[in-house]
Amino acid sequence: MADLIIKGGRVLTPDSVVVDDGIVVVDSGLITFAGKDTGEKAGKTIDARGCIVMPGLINAHTHLAMTLFRGWADDLAYKGWVKKIRKIEMKLTQADIRAGANLGVLEMIKSGTTTFADMYIHMDEVASVVEKTGIRAALGYGMIEGINEDSGSKLKIREEFNRKWNGAADGRITTMYAPHSAASCSKEFLIKVREQASNDKTNIHIHVLETENELHLMKKRYGMCSVNLLDGMGFLGPDILAAHCVWLSDGDIDILKTRKVNVVHCPSSNMALGAGVARVPEMLEKGINVALGTDGCASGGSLDMWKEMRMASLLHKLKDPRYMPAEKVLEMATVNGAMALNIKAGVLKPGSLADIIIVDLKKPHFTSSNLISSLVHSTSGCDVKSTIVNGKILMEDHKVMLDEEKIIEDARETILNITGNNN
């Protein structure tokens, strides 16, 4: 007997094929069947009539506990934003990070994100939150040279974090090395990170050419941009998660393609900070795996991946309406994210991780001739009815298996303590 059967809904199978009155069977944390008919029995059955059953969304780049800074540095260009955020970040305690991480996980579960990639500080607290709440995460303990520990101690602490948490929480937690960027870390330090990550067989999460300022700084410092510097060091490869990648040349795109680097597009944050428009259609055309991320709430304003999908689609249609069709954007938020994080998720098929969401279609905005288009362009996180990770129900019929009221109240108090304002 299986653990769980979801039946009666419209099931989104690979290549955006929708099976009406479909069935998804889950056993031991994996999908064992997704299709039309099965005689399988289960310990629990979810009636998904009037809903679509689909893969959980994957937020491939964020700074989770920055939920505490949502709205704090709005309407500032990147330099002014960083200055204001860094000043308040220095006040953060482990308890603060825990409160912000709990708030972020709650927001993601309620809006249908089942996996996220995080890069921030006090990451043991984030890992503990992930372990307790049931979500899936790829966690990187951020590294900027010249802040807090010396570079040797910094790398040692990250090694210890990886050893402690990689594969923890029944495999829901994986870890990454997370140097902030080539602009904020020396070449010598990045070489050490690359060596350690290779030794540990661990991925690397890094910001790459997020701003024009980084491009000019790197050319002044090294005579080349970040992509060329990292490539010349032997840094780049299929284990790299490169966030933003806004200021790329044609040659940079070719390098990323050749090295099989995974790119994460964060359109809301890039727009909010005036960072620019990443050349995503060209990257996709070249065959680069491009995933989708919200970045931190302090810039993007939200962890709702549905909003991010809509932004990703419409932003690039400014140049050409044929760019970024709904099917491609949905892939970026599901299967491409899974590929970038090296997890067997993002698609409903036998053998995949049972990371599944159920979206309520009984809404006016889903009255449409094109369901996939409606999912990308019309859905909000509030339409997600149930969220399942590793075969475990984290939210059912909009009821989260967490103390939602306490999480929100703790976050409000933390924001008030840090900023003096929680309105």
Name every residue whose Cβ is closer than 8 Å to that of residue 108 and which is 6 or more positions away in sequence.
59, 114, 116, 135, 303
Overall size of the chain counted in residues: 423
- Reported as a single tens digit per residue, the pLDDT across 221-270 is 999 999 999 999 999 999 999 999 999 999 999 999 999 999 999 999 99
Read off the amino acid at residue 107. E
Residue whose C-alpha is closest to residue 344's, from 175, 9, 177, 114: 114
Domain boundaries, the chain: 2-55+345-400, 57-341
Lowest mean pLDDT among 12-21, 173-182, 348-357, 396-405: 12-21
Contact criterion met (CB below 8 Å) for 291 and 264: yes
Put residue 332 in one of left, alpha, beta given phi > 0 → left and psi -120 to 50 → alpha.
alpha
237-256 burial code (b ≥16 CB/10 A, e <16): bebbbbbbbbbbeeebbebb
What per-residue confidence (pLDDT) applies to 37? 82
- Reported as a single tens digit per residue, the pLDDT across 259-310 is 999 999 999 999 999 999 999 999 999 999 999 999 999 999 999 999 999 9
- Report the CATH superfamily, name and number, of domain 2-55+345-400: Urease, subunit C, domain 1 (2.30.40.10)
Structure tokens at 319: 């140049």
Alpha-carbon span 48 to 84, nearest angstrom: 46
User: How confident is residue 369, by pLDDT bands cut at 50, 70 and 90?
Assistant: very high
Contact criterion met (CB below 8 Å) for 110 and 384: yes
Alpha-carbon span 385 to 256, nearest angstrom: 38
With a pLDDT cut of 70, the percent of the chain lying above it is: 99
Bridge partners, residue 353, by sequence: 30
| Helices 371-378 and 305-317, packing angle to 10 deg | 100
Alpha-carbon span 115 to 138, nearest angstrom: 8
Catalogue the long-range contacts made by 251-254 (C-beta closer than 8 Å, 24 or more residues apart): 252/209, 252/225, 252/227, 252/228, 253/279, 253/282, 253/283, 253/286, 253/288, 254/286
Q: Is 247 helix (H, G, I), strand (E, B) or coil?
A: coil
Flag whether pLDDT at 422 surpasses 70: no
Tell me the pLDDT of the chain averaged across its residues. 96
User: How confident is residue 150, by pLDDT bands cut at 50, 70 and 90?
Assistant: confident
Using a 10 angstrom Cβ sphere, with 0-12 exposed, 13-18 middle and 19 or more buried, the burial of residue 3 is middle
Lowest mean pLDDT among 72-81, 101-110, 216-225: 72-81
Report the sign of the C-alpha dihedral through residues 216, 222, 224, 229, in that order.
negative
- CATH code reported for the domain at 57-341: 3.20.20.140
Q: Give DSSP secondary structure letters for 276-311.
A: ----HHHHHHHT--EEE----HHHH----HHHHHHH
Q: Does pTM surpass 0.85?
A: yes
What per-residue confidence (pLDDT) applies to 148? 65
- Reported as a single tens digit per residue, the pLDDT across 154-167 is 899 999 999 999 99
Flag whether pLDDT at 371 surpasses 90: yes
- E strand residue ranges, 87-153: 113-120, 136-143
